[in-house]
């Protein structure tokens, strides 16, 4: 009887898991099916580049799956029946049965963080949204990016470097780059000054309107265009289906990335709350791809009658691009805390580009995972 492995989501985690499982199960009576809403692989870490007007590589999933035996189904997941072990879809074949499920549906922008996001702000959570923002940037004179995390920093600096005529401001409720070492923070803020990015820290947004922001201290901040990067959330499907989740809706998994409530389901990537040396995994492709590869191995072990190995999730660095020719790379301990070692400038930009391209290479060739996977 054929073992049916269904993988939901073809981001860094899901695609890595599907290909690794298929490779490990070659010769076995097993079928791996990958379900994704689009027929393209999206390099999410490059969406700020797409929004800035740059052309990104076209990565059809069929090309990335060529020769693997993985079946691709292009459809949106509308529901899970955990008792029947079935996935409901909005397109043919409309339903898929599974023996093992890998849940990798990722995350999306939090559009309900404050009033007005849905009506008046742009986000960078998908290729379609980034393309829509690209069209907007061609006709706007000022832009406010809300959110002092990696996405906000990279977006603000990319926009300023690509469109020098734009007035760009970065607004954060906390200290921008506060998790970095002092040297990395200094370089970051020097880049803001060089690019003309105005920075407003410890400013909490209360509301977004058609003409800008209202801060919680009552100050109004005019802006023709607002980009919201201040929060991401996972789909509610896992919790609604009865999978055990944490307070943020992320699937609770054990050391082998199996659901603590349904051991035939694996949770990986942004949608899963996995344990790391520092506590809990953060949303990042740096953890998504290794989680996917290790989940693929775990599924193969499970179907072979072996106990899945404990996943090893650790951090090595944080790469932050500051336009195409500058950046800061903060090297970290395994628990994600910063080391004193920092790479800056063009060397950092070159390093990040090599890592980003290398990640796509790993999508094509999902061999053994390593420290930088």
Predicted confidence (pLDDT) per residue in 100-157, tens digit: 999 999 999 999 989 999 999 999 999 999 999 999 999 999 999 999 999 999 999 9
User: Is residue 144 within 8 Å of 213, Cβ to Cβ?
Assistant: yes
User: Is residue 108 within 8 Å of 232, Cβ to Cβ?
Assistant: yes
Which of 277, 282, 279, 283 lies closest to 334 in space, CA to CA?
Answer: 277
Per-residue DSSP letters for 17-41? Answer: HHHHHHHHTTTSSEEEEEEESSSB-
b/e burial code for range 9-23 (CB count within 10 A of at least 16 → b): bbbbbbbbbbbbbbb
What is the structure's pLDDT at 368? Answer: 56
b/e burial code for range 103-136 (CB count within 10 A of at least 16 → b): bbbbbebbbebbebbeebbbbbbbbebbeebbee
Q: How far apart are the C-alpha atoms of 21 and 265, rounded to whole Å?
A: 14
Distances (CA, A) of 278 to 197, 202, 311, 341: 32, 25, 14, 19
Peptide bond into 93 cis (omega under 30): yes
Which of 370, 362, 303 lies closest to 21 in space, CA to CA?
Answer: 303
For residue 71, the SS3 value is: strand
Pair of tokens at residue 241: 């289906």
For residue 108, the SS3 value is: strand
pLDDT digits (tens, 9 = 90+) for 210-245: 999 999 999 999 999 999 999 889 999 999 999 999
Tokens 């500051």, residue located: 322
pTM of the model: 0.93
Beta bridge partners of residue 79, listed in sequence order = 88
User: Is residue 79 within 8 Å of 103, Cβ to Cβ?
Assistant: no
What is the structure's pLDDT at 173? Answer: 95
Pair of tokens at residue 28: 């076995």
What is the structure's pLDDT at 277? Answer: 66
Distances (CA, A) of 102 to 23, 26, 261: 16, 18, 14
Tokens 């960078």, residue located: 124
Q: How far apart are the C-alpha atoms of 164 and 10, rounded to whole Å?
A: 35
Q: What are phi and psi of 226, to 5 degrees?
A: -120, 130
pLDDT digits (tens, 9 = 90+) for 272-283: 998 876 667 777
Pair of tokens at residue 119: 């009506």
User: Which residue ranges of the chain lie beneath pLDDT 70?
Assistant: 277-279, 365-373
């Amino acid at each position: 009887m054929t073992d049916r492995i269904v993988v939901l989501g073809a981001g860094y985690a899901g695609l890595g898991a599907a290909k690794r499982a298929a490779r490990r199960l070659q010769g076995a009576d097993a079928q791996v099916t990958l379900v994704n809403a689009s027929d393209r692989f999206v390099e999410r870490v490059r969406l700020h580049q797409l929004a800035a007007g740059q052309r990104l590589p076209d990565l059809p999933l069929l090309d990335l799956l060529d020769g693997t035996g993985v079946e691709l189904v292009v459809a949106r997941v509308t529901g899970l029946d955990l008792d029947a072990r079935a996935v409901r879809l909005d397109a043919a074949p409309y339903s898929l049965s599974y023996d093992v499920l890998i849940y990798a549906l990722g995350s999306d922008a939090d559009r309900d963080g404050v009033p007005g996001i849905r009506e008046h702000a742009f986000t960078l959570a998908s290729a379609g949204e980034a393309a829509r923002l690209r069209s907007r940037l061609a006709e706007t004179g000022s832009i406010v990016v809300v959110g002092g995390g990696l996405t906000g920093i990279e977006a603000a600096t990319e926009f300023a470097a690509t469109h020098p005529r734009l007035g760009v401001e970065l607004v954060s409720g906390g200290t921008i780059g506060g998790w970095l070492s002092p040297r990395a923070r200094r370089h970051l803020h020097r880049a803001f000054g060089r690019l003309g990015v105005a920075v407003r820290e410890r400013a909490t947004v209360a509301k977004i309107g058609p003409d800008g922001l209202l801060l919680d201290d009552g100050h109004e901040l005019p802006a023709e265009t607002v980009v919201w990067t201040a929060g991401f959330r996972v789909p509610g499907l896992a919790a609604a289906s009865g999978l055990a989740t944490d307070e943020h809706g992320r699937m609770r998994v054990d050391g082998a990335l199996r659901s603590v409530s349904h051991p035939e389901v694996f949770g990986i990537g942004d949608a899963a709350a996995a344990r790391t040396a520092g506590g809990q995994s953060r949303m990042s492709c740096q953890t998504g791809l290794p989680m996917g590869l290790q989940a693929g191995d775990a599924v193969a072990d499970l179907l072979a009658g072996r106990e899945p190995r404990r996943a090893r999730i650790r951090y090595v660095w944080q790469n932050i691009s500051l336009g195409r020719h500058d950046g800061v790379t903060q090297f970290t301990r395994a628990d994600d805390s910063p080391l004193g070692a920092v790479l800056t400038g063009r060397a950092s930009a070159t390093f990040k580009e090599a890592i980003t391209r290398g990640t796509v290479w790993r999508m094509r060739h999902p061999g053994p995972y390593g420290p930088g996977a």
